[in-house]
Amino acid sequence: MGKPTGFMEYLREVAQEVAPADRIRNWDEFHLSMAEDNLRTQGARCMDCGTPFCHTGITISGMASGCPINNLIPEWNDLVYRGLWEEALDRLHKTNNFPEFTGRVCPAPCEGSCVLGITSLPVTIKNIEYSIAEKGWESGWIVPNPPKQRTGKKVAVIGSGPAGLAAAAQLNTAGHWVTVYERADRPGGLLMYGIPNMKLDKQQVVQRRLDVLEAEGVTFVCNTEVGKDISAENLLKEFDSVVLCTGSTRPRDLPIEGRDLKGIHFAMEFLTANTQAVLDENPNDNYISAAGKDVVIIGGGDTGTDCVGTSIRHGCTSVTQVEIMPQPPETRSAANPWPEWPKVYKMDYGQEEAAAMFGDDPRAYLTTATKFEGDEQGNVKAVHTVQIQWDQDENGRFVPHNVPGTEKVIPADLVLLAMGFLGPEQPLLDALGLEKDGRSNVKAEHEQYTTSIPGVFAAGDCRRGQSLVVWAINEGRGAARECDRYLMGTTELP
C-alpha cells in the first residue's frame, strides 16, 4: 500500500488552518486545503502493514479503535498516492455515505490505531479522506444516482442526523420510498444544529448532500414531531417499516444550589440557537449571547469545546471550561497502549482560540462546581468550584472526592452545561410501547437493530447512547440492511 518505503522517507504533514486570531472573526470553516502533491506524499506513508488496524472498527477499553464504518483506508491511501482520485472516491463511498462530514468532524480513531503510530506519527488519514471527498464534489463526481426501480415499500425514518441520513440513503438505494421526519426547521439533526458552522459548514457542505439525497428520491418532512404532530399509531399504519434515529438528546443536568438562576443553560440551547442565527442571519427569540460576559462552561468534551469557540466569536470577556477529569499526559501511558484510542493532551480548536485570546488553555482540570451564586435580580454571577481527586471505593470503582482548601469562585454571567446526554427523549418511545434497556435507550441488539415491535428498528445514539458520528453512520447503514431484509426477505445492502 502506498510507496513501500514511504513511511521511512516522508514525515507526517497536516493541512494548515486559519490562524485562531483571524478565524474567530467569522463563522467560516477554518480548514485549509493541502496541495495535491503533498497529499500524494502523505498517502505514500501508508505502510504495507499486513494487518491494518485502522479499519477494524472495534471497541477496546470502551473506546473506538480503528474506523467504526470500516473504511478501506489502505486501499484509498494507495489510490491517492497513485493519483487515482475518482477510484479513491468510489472506494471511500463503499463504506461511508458522507465522507465530507467525517473528514471534518470525526476524531479519527483510525489514526490512533495506525500501525505506523507505534514508532512514528500516524498517517494523516482524516485529511486524506476530507480531500478525497472535496475532490469528488469539485470534479462533479458526486451526483444524484436514484434507484433504477422501486419496490413499492414505504419506510419512515425518524430523525435526520447522521444515523437517519445513512439509513435513508441506504434504504433509498435499495429502492424503497423513504420519508425522513425531522422536528427542526431544517434536516440534518446533529450535523445541522449540533455542530457549529466553523467546524461543518451548513450551506456549502451539509445542504449540498441533502440536495443530492432529495434528488435521489428521499423525502424530508421538517417541523414535524412524530408522537405529537403525527401519532405513533398512524405512523405504523402508513408505513411498512420504521427506523428510529432520534439521537440521545436528554442533557445531563447539574442539580446544585443556584441551578434555577437566570443565565444557566444547557449547551445545546446555546449552540442550536446560535447556528439558527447564523443561517437566518438574524438572532431569534431563543438566541443566547455571550458578548461581554464571563462565561463558564461545565464539561470538557467536544460540546464544551464548541461552546468555547462560539463564546469567543460572540466576544465574551473571559471563558473557563471546568473539567472533572485529570489533564491527560503528553504521550501514551503504559495503561493506554496502541491500538487503543490515545488519551493524550491536546488543544482542540476552541482551546487554541481561547489561548490566542486570553493567553492560556481555558480548561480547569480535576475541578467540579459546587454552587451557583446569584445577584439580587436572580442572575448568575459566579460559580463556586473545588478541586477533586479520584480514589477507588470498596468495589474498585474510581469516585471523586473534594480536596479541602481548594475552593475557588469564578465570575460568571453565563454558565453552559456541557456534561453529555442521558439518552433519547421518552415520549415517542412510550407512545410506541418500545422496550428499553437499563439506560433508557431503545432496546435493540447491535448488528440486528430490531426492537420489541416487528418492523420497527433503532440505530445510532437512541440505541447505543451518546457516541461518535461514525458510529451513527455505522448503525444507520446496519439498520437499513436489516430493515431491507425484513421488507424483502433478503438484502444486498452491506
DSSP per residue, 116-148? GGGTSPPP-HHHHHHHHHHHHHHTT-------S
- pLDDT above 70 (res 468): yes
Global pTM value: 0.95
**C-alpha to C-alpha distance for 415 and 256, rounded to whole angstroms:** 13
Provide mean pLDDT across the span 188-214: 97
Provide mean pLDDT across the span 430-446: 94
- pLDDT above 70 (res 355): yes
* Residue 114 confidence class, pLDDT cut points 50, 70, 90: very high
Provide mean pLDDT across the span 144-157: 98
* Residue 283 confidence class, pLDDT cut points 50, 70, 90: confident
Mean pLDDT of the chain: 96
The residue written with cell numbers 425531522 in the block is 182
383-387, long-range: CB within 8 Å, 24+ apart, which pairs? 383/296, 383/298, 383/322, 383/409, 383/410, 383/412, 383/415, 384/408, 384/409, 384/410, 385/322, 385/409, 385/410
pLDDT at 400: 94
**C-alpha to C-alpha distance for 171 and 481, rounded to whole angstroms:** 8
**C-alpha to C-alpha distance for 367 and 387, rounded to whole angstroms:** 4
Is the Cβ–Cβ distance between 251 and 265 less than 8 Å?
A: no
Provide mean pLDDT across the span 382-386: 98
Regarding beta strands 367-374 and 380-392, do their DSSP bridges make them parallel or antiparallel, or are they unpaired? antiparallel
Provide mean pLDDT across the span 85-90: 98
pLDDT at 285: 86
Please report which helix (H) or strand (E) contains residue 470, including its range.
helix 469-488
pLDDT at 396: 87
Provide mean pLDDT across the span 7-19: 95
Collapsing DSSP to helix, strand or coil, 326 comes out as coil
Which whole-number Å values give the CA distances from 77 to 39, 55, 200, 444, in the listed order? 9, 12, 24, 35
- pLDDT above 70 (res 102): yes
* Residue 51 confidence class, pLDDT cut points 50, 70, 90: confident
**Structural domains in the chain?**
6-138 (1.10.1060.10), 154-249+422-488 (3.50.50.60), 264-417 (3.50.50.60)
pLDDT digit string (tens) for 263-279? 999 999 999 999 999 99
Provide mean pLDDT across the span 452-470: 96
* Residue 33 confidence class, pLDDT cut points 50, 70, 90: very high
Neighbours of 253 (CB within 10 A): 12
* Residue 3 confidence class, pLDDT cut points 50, 70, 90: confident
CA 416 to chain centre: 19
Cα diameter, the chain: 71
* Residue 493 confidence class, pLDDT cut points 50, 70, 90: very high
Provide mean pLDDT across the span 225-250: 96
pLDDT at 282: 86
348 bridge partner residues: none
- pLDDT above 80 (res 2): no
pLDDT at 1: 64
